[in-house]
Amino acid sequence: MSKVLQVAFRLEAVYVLEFLSERFDRLREPDQTRTIIHELMHIPKNFGGGFRFHDHVTARNVQAMLDAYLRAKKG
């Protein structure tokens, strides 16, 4: 929903991630995690209803976030 409609209807921004099970379920667990991180990185930090494009969501940035996630998961 556009920012104009959010303001007009006094709605907070909502983000929905959709994964097609035909493709997502076939991925190995590390690739599923990478896909989820990739999609989450499209959401701007301010959760304002916008969308971050692939100039930010690059393979290098996704890998950096995945590495940080895996380090945090280890302990």
pLDDT tens digits, 18-57: 999 999 999 999 999 999 999 999 998 877 777 888 888 9
- pLDDT above 70 for 61: yes
Q: What string of DSSP letters covers the chain? A: --HHHHHHTT----------HHHHTTS-HHHHHHHHHHHHTTS-TT-SS----TTTS-HHHHHHHHHHHHHHHH-
pLDDT for 28 equals 97
Using CA atoms, how far apart are residues 61 and 33, in angstroms rounded to an integer? 14
In the structure, what pLDDT confidence band is assigned to residue 72 with cuts at 50, 70 and 90? very high
Please say whether the dihedral angle defined by the alpha carbons of residues 23, 26, 27 and 32, taken in this order, is positive or negative. positive
pLDDT for 1 equals 66
